[in-house]
Amino acid sequence: MEIFNKQILELFLSRTAKSRALWESACHVLPDGGGGDMQCYWPYPVYMQHAQGSNIYDVDGHEYVDFFCGAGTIMLGHRSPMILKAAESALKDGMPVSVACESEIKLALLLRKFMPGMEMIRFLPSGSEANQAAIRLARKFTGRSKIAKFEGGYHGQAQEMLVSIEPSGPACGPANEPSCMPWHTAMPAHMLQQVVILPFNNIKDTLRIIERHAVELAAIMVEPVLVHGGMIPADKDYLRAIKDVAAAHGILLVFDEVVTGLRLVPGGAQEIYGITADMTVLAKPVGGGYPMGVLGGRKEVMSCICMDRMHDKVCVAGSTSGHPVSVAAGLALLTELEKGEYYKHVQELASLAGKGLQKAFDDAGMLCTVTGELMGYCRGFWPHFSSRAPRNSRDFYGEDLLKLLNFCIGMIAHGIFMSPTGAPSVTLAHTRDDIDKMLKAASSVILMMKSG
């Protein structure tokens, strides 16, 4: 089976000779030649040297308009002056990690202003660790052991959450009764038995499964938009039904807003849906582009962390939790977001990008559905090589994903960095000219794909 369109592959190879050489060398010391899965893709990753504004520059001397944006961690653009100033100031202060500092209080108060449901907050090094902490807290608070998650939902590297993320094949079970299947990991059978898998955007069967396991469920982990599964938003009625059944049975509702938090609107998806979770996880952009995870929630739940519980407390630790540079950058980001310009600017450009990309596919007669809106809010654009937008991850993994890979590699070869490993997005630094460049490149790539 041939993976790549010949024209696209030849153009990519011709532009990235130094990247290929670095990759061949890197593979001797780094699995797949990268520091993590997000950096690795076929045929090999483009190695970057520096970035500025909406652009990123590779080792071969090429400039790209960056629509990957650090897997969504960059909101204001690369080397944003306010972020740089804050980070440099923190570095000059020389504050070590693992000591208390006033800036943590300021950031927590500002986050709570954005998301009032986060009554108490704990900082962590990453979103994965914040999700792990949420699970531990839920189990302690409820005295129950099982966790429910949605098929296609991705909640970072928490071992028991690495299940049922890319459903395909009979082992995944029927659509209305998904099986709990390990994803790129080996798991003991008893761990699989602690996770209940729910069918995304299927109210009837989701409620049926929750009711069956209610007395055992400590928490329901919710990704309001299935990011790994193709940027698929949950139906409003669906999330409301889950909120109601969770409350009725004393099950904690945990919103994983690692991607949607701050980026859609200040209050994240919870503001848009009108639902307040018992606990919320934030990451990616919240540290202003620097590593940070955040866990926040109801005071009575978060109090399980407190020292006055002595040996009965829940451990939520991490030497680099609340790193001074990340906290300073996060404060600068939230201060900028308070002005409101980011949301207006990005909404306009992301909408132009999505509509323009759909037109490019339509004009060329290529079957594709471009998505990116959540109840009128648009922060990115995602091409689905299908006649309709996916409703769940089974729809997404039933699409022609090789076409998506070819499209992304073709865009990179045309100077538009759209990584096959993450959804495209727009920052405050992007301009209309950047959108025009992207749409021009897309038209060229589509023609190459059609010609075979």
- 304-332, pLDDT tens digit by residue? 999 998 889 999 999 999 999 999 999 99
122, pLDDT greater than 90? yes
361, HSE (Cβ side, Cα atoms, 13 Å): 20
Mean predicted confidence (pLDDT) in 142-160: 95
452, pLDDT greater than 80? no
Beta strands in 95-161 (DSSP E): 120-124, 146-150
Instruction: Convert the pLDDT of each residue in 82-105 to its tens digit.
Output: 999 999 999 999 999 999 999 999
The Cα-based distances of 129 to 51, 182, 313, 319, 376 in angstroms read 28, 19, 17, 12, 31
Q: Which CATH architecture has domain 6-79+340-451?
A: Alpha-Beta Complex (3.90)
Lowest mean pLDDT among 131-140, 220-229, 409-418: 220-229
Token reading at 369 = 């559905």
Instruction: Convert the pLDDT of each residue in 252-307 to its tens digit.
Output: 999 999 999 999 999 999 999 999 999 999 999 999 999 999 999 999 999 999 99
Residue 1's pLDDT band (cuts 50, 70, 90): low
Domain extents in the chain: 6-79+340-451, 81-337
Q: Are strands 63-66 and 217-222 parallel, antiparallel or unpaired?
A: unpaired
Phi/psi-derived region of residue 435, left when phi > 0, alpha when psi is between -120 and 50, beta in every other case: alpha
Contact assessment for residue 120 and residue 303, using Cβ atoms and an 8 Å cutoff:
yes
Provide the pLDDT for residue 379.
84
364, pLDDT greater than 80? yes
357, pLDDT greater than 90? yes
Q: Cα–Cα distance between 153 and 315 in angstroms, integer?
A: 25
157, pLDDT greater than 60? yes
378, pLDDT greater than 90? no
Instruction: Convert the pLDDT of each residue in 166-204 to its tens digit.
Output: 998 899 999 999 999 999 999 999 999 999 999 999 999
333, pLDDT greater than 60? yes
pTM over 0.75, yes/no: yes
Mean predicted confidence (pLDDT) in 199-225: 98
- Would you say how long the chain is, in residues? 452
Q: Which CATH architecture has domain 81-337?
A: 3-Layer(aba) Sandwich (3.40)
229, pLDDT greater than 80? no
Strand, helix or coil for residue 365: coil
